[in-house]
Amino acid sequence: MVPNGWTLKHLSELSNKISDGIHSTPKYVESSDIYFVNGNNLKNGSIVITDSTKKVCVDDAEKHRRELNEKTILMSINGTIGNLAYYNGENVVLGKSACYINVADGTDTDYLYYTLEDSKTQAFYTSELTGSTIKNLSLKTIKATKILTPPLPEQRKIAKILSTWDKAISTTERLIDNSKQQKKALMQQLLTGAHTQRKRLLDDSGKPFDGEWEEVKLGDVCSKVTDGAHHSPKSVEGGYPMFSVKDMRATGFAENTARHISQDDFKALVKQNCKPEINDILIAKDGSILKYCFVVQEDIQGVILSSIALLRPQLNKISPYFIAQYFSQESVRFFVGKALTSGSGVPRIILKDFKGIHLRIPSLFEQQRIAKVLANADQEIESLEQQLADLKQEKKALMQQLLTGKRRVKI
């Protein structure tokens, strides 16, 4: 149903021209300042240039210029579909996996951008894809996109409202990036800095902790370094979850993605020590190595597969949360990924290599203080990420109301 005062138009009626980029391969040169961009360069409203983005010969580029202007919207149409970006005068040549939409006068560019971004439009594009291996979106389909079109003043007001949500989303994303950088710096100061550079926290008396850190092997401070089941019982409806790396998240398991096994198989695997206990540390050791590492904080009525390593720390020697923070460092992940992985197909870490990892630890009390400070930083990041998710969901709901005319704006 078309709202009162609105019209239903095709995208071609709201544009001066819709076309894709060049289908030939231009000449690449390092000395040029003209970039050859494709659909994978379009992200979150901007053209993203990376180190791998090729540059085009100036003379050759002149033959391939496209009619881009200040009212141009770019969209990916090959491989990854529907990524959008504004054209802001960048010195680029457009490849065939992207198209450009030159918005006509009388149509607000931002309003059209939001309509193309809307989940309803994106779902239409998904339904119209062709190609078995690499998906394609045809220019014919793009031109035929149906756009509910209010009068220009109403378009501008709708776009202005949605832009305020984009600004809030962008601000929150920057806060998350800043918080992650701050935590990274804090980890370097508290966990891995040289003795003369290491930041020491305050003890209960208000004085900095002192004393040398001790070098230990992981196997010497854990009563158990093992993994989960090396065989996979038959799946059943209901039953008990059997977790693998794919079910791991930042702080626990996603039970809705796990397959389930029978009670008899569950009991048998419990006897084989495949059921984690509270304060155990679980680490992704096969495939997505060290992508996830968390401490079990509550009873888990499930078992794990061998793709997950289980460390059971000696609590009188080492804090499980300290170890978890230690393994979350980029430098540690890089070292383990390069030095300790094996396997030609799925990369994995052998348990004896886990046991042999050396790390330096302070007193148990200082470990606990360090872990708490870093956990507080994690909570701040998690809170911001939840805010971001909420903002995106609220914007999506608002778009569905404003772009369909179910909620009208006052001009």
Taking the C-alpha atoms of residue 30 and residue 105, their distance in angstroms, rounded to an integer, is 38
pLDDT tens digit sequence for 224-259: 999 999 998 999 998 999 999 999 998 999 989 999
d(CA 18, CA 28): 26
Q: What is the mean pLDDT of the chain?
A: 92
Terminal C-alpha separation, the chain:
22
- Residue 249: other Cβ atoms inside 10 A: 10
Phi, psi torsion values for 305, nearest 5 degrees:
-90, 170
Q: How far is CA 56 from the centre of its chain?
A: 31
Q: How many CB atoms lie within 10 A of CB 340?
A: 19
**pLDDT at position 63:** 73
User: Which residues does the chain have with pLDDT short of 50?
Assistant: none
Q: Quick one: how far is CA 174 from the chain centroid?
A: 14
Phi and psi at residue 333, in whole multiples of 5°?
A: -60, -40
Predicted local distance difference test score (pLDDT) of residue 24? 85
Count the Cβ atoms, other than its own, within 10 Å of residue 204.
7
